[in-house]
Structure 1
Amino acid sequence: MDCFFSFLLSIVLIIQAYPTSVDSNEKIPANNGPVITVRKHISFPDFKIDQEINLLGSAIISSEKNSIQIPDTTQEVDVRHLAGRAIFGSPIRLLDPPTKSPASFETTFSFQFQSLSNSTFSFPNGEDSNFTMSSPVDGGSGFSFIIVPDEFTVGRSGPWLGILNDACDEDYKSIAIEFDTRQNPEFGDPNDNHIGINLGSSIVSSRIINASDAGIDLNDGSVHRAWVSYDGNKGFIQIHLGSDKDRKLIYSGSLDLSSYLNEYMFIGFSASTGNHTQIHNIFSWNFTSTSQASLKIPSAETCESKILVDQKEAEEIKKHNKTPTSFLIFVAVVILVFVALLNFYFTRGRNNGNPKELIVLPEKKQRPRPPNKPRRFSLTEISNATRNFRELQILGSDTRSVTYKANMLNGCNVAVKRFLTQFFSSHGLDRKRVHKEIKAISKIRHPNLVPIRGWCFDRQESIVVYDYVPNGSLDKWLYGVGVLPWTRRFKVVESVAEALSYLHSKQLAHKNLKPSSVFLDVSFRAVLGDFGFVIPSAGSTRFESIVSLTADVFEFGVLALEVVAGRNRKSGPGGVDLLELAWSLHEKDEKVKLVDRRMGSLVIPEQAVRVIEVGLLCTMNENRGRPAMEEVLKFLNLETSIPELPFSRPLSLFPYSSTLGLCTGYSCASFK
């Protein structure tokens, strides 16, 4: 009887919620509202330093010519094999995601190729004032107008024209219209005077236009003007080339760009040099885009949506449905009352006959498990997620561990760090103590720390499961993928300092700080992961803690210098140690020379020098004034002035090796 009662109640609720009659002519409002036109227009009659143009790599604003110039001849003695970009600082809407409709746009720009042959340059250091380039007169690599998904990546030099690099995978979305003055047969170039349309991650042009057929010589030293117009509705592109007085149509045809566009993209120019060199100048630029967007009307569940419903139509629908719905509700209520009386009668009779039969047991309460709480994983789970530790799943490895990309059953991507068994035995490490520290670190949560999902300690396996960070580690962005702008680099230094300060406040140390342990999430925010977890099997716990914390500070100092310089500690010419170089430049009061030149003119010199000084301070001997991470944060945030550094390099820096968390080969007496 109880089941029957519940069944009837469900029917009534469904009847009340569901309309009893639907008019075939009734219109259900669509999710999208009115279609509007989104327009964007930018205009640069010439170029000045204070404009909204981001300069990356070897690119500058020439104050002499009021132009974008690639490469930067004011900083480089040898301008071969350089690449640069000039990107408009704000993204442009170029795709309507619901309809996959590309925007229409028009752009025009004037440019000139200037040969470096027989050209004399005066370099900033005053040396080689009569230096003459020996490039042939047939020019170097060209330049391109680009539409790209980000504003900080620079491509390869040479025939790649600064468009693509090793980070551009098969799904990389980009569009480039190249103006090439070198013939590269391997890329299908017809000659050294052509225009190409490049789509996606391919440097091979999908459309190639021979400029000579139009009587145009791109490398004749004159100022050329290009007009590019694209009709997104028709999928049709036109390219004109020439001068203001003589405009020639050199290409027109169908072209669907929707597959190569995100909703918002960045636009600008890229150029490069190879063995052959030339200066690429862009003197003026105009760009206008027009895209369609549908305004979304509020959901039917919101009060605001009632404003959009026609009052007359609403009244007709209400009148049409009122009588039958009300009648059915009335009938249902009568039936429910009748059934309730019957149920009460029969239930009372049963209770009177055998009152002990009805026993209500309290429901057992189960404590809900927090969704992000770290947990123990079985070896089977880990093995399945990594496809039995398949080689293709490997993200990286070192002498301690191998890290795999894994996909859990719930669809989440994670990074699985599997410690090597021989690592524990060869270094005399206490596996249980390492496991204990892994669990302790797992409880820590901070916006700038990679969360630990859990662990697996099974059959001599020691495995840590992290959140997967999609943009990879910092070292790939500093040393190969592209050029991170200064604003992002400073944020990286600041974020790592915040993460370490928080860890140290909990008396925990990272023990493995280096660029490959810093990761960039989808918004390029720095998060610190890949903890060391390594504790020696003997010695005072307090001693270990002190050494680990101060060693973290030392490694942070080295990391800060690497971020500013854009190079690995040991990757300098002739194997020059970055720390040695930084102290040497400090002695000469030339610290600014350590700054990565590839970032162009958008660096804030005072801020960069401040980071260098903080880095040097962190690498001093502990008893000579090495700060705590809490103090480092105050230095970076201008809350406290930086103590004066010694004029000359300290006699012995604290050469801590974070591999084992030990003072290997050095005296640690000052910490006892």
Structure 2
Amino acid sequence: MDYFCWFYFLFGILVSSNLGSSSDDKGPIGPVINVTKHISFHDFSSNNPRLNQDLTLLGSVIVSDGKKSIQIPDPEREGDDLKHLAGRAIYSSPIRFLDPRTETPASFETTFSFQFEVKSNSSNESTSDLGKSVGGSGLTFIIVPDELTVGRAGPWLGMLNDLCDDDYKTVAIEFDTRQNPEFGDPNDNHLGINLGSIVSTAAINASDVGVQLNDGSIHRVWISYDGRKRFMDIRLAPEEKGYPSKSVYSGLLDLSPYLNEYMFVGFSAATGNHTQIHNILSWNFTSISQASLRVPSTETCQNRIMLQNDTQSEIAHRKTPNSFFIFLAVVILLVVVLINLYFSSYKKDDDFDEAMTTLPEKKQRPRPPNKARRFTIAEVSIATRNFSELQILGSDEKSVTYKATMLNGCNVVVKRFLTQFFNTHGFEKRQFHKEIKAISKIRHPNLVPIRGWCYDNQETIVVYDFIPNGSLDKWLFGVGVLPWTRRFKVVKDLADSLAYLHSKQLAHKNVKSSSVFLDVSFRAVVGDFGFVLTSTGSTRFESMVSQTADVFEFGVAVLEVIAGRSRKSNPGERDLLDLAWAMHEVQQKETLVDRRMGAVVNLEQAIRALDIGLLCTLNENKGRPTMEEVVEFLNMEKPIPELPPGRPVCLFPYSSTTGLCSGYACTAFK
């Protein structure tokens, strides 16, 4: 309460003043010294007794005895499924990288050797295909503020998590084997210097120094940084060629805005749709930072003893008034407490106090950043202002969605499932909760993170991140006009997210334009998961059916993005899916493209995307692709199969919502 805060504050001032502490407890600044840290790993073998103490492994990573290397991802644990994985190997102790008094970065030198092993994505991939540098995604040398966070997979290279705020300082040198134009990558064989961002401050073509990063060779890197001059030098060469005479990068670079006083150093790597194993074979690191010593205090114990013997009477003389002042201060504080108690009894907020009394008092163990957790009903109730109607964002037959603010100030979205929804449909809550927990563990740049859940008092609640730019349907059918480049990026982002979910044997089950959200940079993130279980007894079969339905719903969403109108037609308007197939039959698909975008539409790209959308709405046994194939179509990595002249007609009961057919055969095309 307030009076306790005042009591401790005033009492602290009183005690400190009576102890006679000086205004500068640390004393005057002394001489400057160098603080040196040295790390050395000749190789990475589990026989090294200090390896477990000196290295922190996060995510999909292992120390391989066979290769005597750090391997990211872990091929032993993941088997053949090495897609969309990220891992980190971090030196366990923090290292001083910045002198906060002078804002001078530490100087450091590091050298390490690495090797990329390209792995095929499927048994159908031939050896000749592997020689085409299809590996991904890459490795980074990182300096990060904590030893808990694992970055995103795919193009994020495990070095950065887009959920981290601007205060999450990081420095990285990336060795990237995939080209991601949205991040400004020049090619699929480059180095990049990343300062607090996934977009490189400087990018260098590795081919310029005769290096192909994923050719299977062992390469060595030398990085040196002069903190006082703010100058960095990077050299790269095949291991057998030794120290190169020419730098890959050499120039002025101020790291101080991206450093804390103490940070962690190590490596991160990731895979995306294409895979490779990133081996770190050896590592040496030395840092030197400047620190100012402080002059030792003259206030020693011996001095006090001597002073006491010499001035006993004077000290006794000073004690009397000091004791009187302490007594007087305590009396005043007691009066303040009583007055505060009297007036505070008239100030109550019944709803807030009632909720606060139910908050758990026990301390929770520290959790890694952004990890989903279980919330209490009291926390959710406070965040939604006791589920106030003013906080409602929307509702449907199974849930009500609220905008909420947690006690730490973070804005979230709370989805509260209705009890009658479970009773009416006969869903088993335990399995429902199991699915929520499974999806809450998933992290992908194009999926809205689940912050947690709540199962208290018969409630089933899911807590998501709040995306301030709103849902895609508002931008397509309401405010503004999204240009084609943004729309095509939305289609690709949506495909990537679903492909990742399906690779984890999960499904979204609610793919529609209102479930796709746009962040501040207009990147698409998919949320509002369906969590709807079928009545089938087989989880494997249920997952397969749901993934097929996801593909169909994705196809419809693509048509809406291109046409700029909802499939739910207005009175007198034709269903968008039927209209799209009709325009395909008469070869007039270009008439579907939203005219509001003007002449700056890449028509060829739009028609290709429309064909992919139609392909996704085929009956499941008539050529409907998987989301992995859709990603390849969109990235021009695979030709699109020829569409049938008309939409297939199904003889069996057929859902126009999911595109699922209850039979195993369909009639010929129209």
Q: Please indicate the TM-score interval, normalised by the length of the shorter structure.
A: 0.3 to 0.5
- Asked which structure has the greater CA Rg, the reply is 1
What is the TM-score when the length of structure 2 is the normalising length? 0.47
What is the TM-score when the length of structure 1 is the normalising length? 0.47
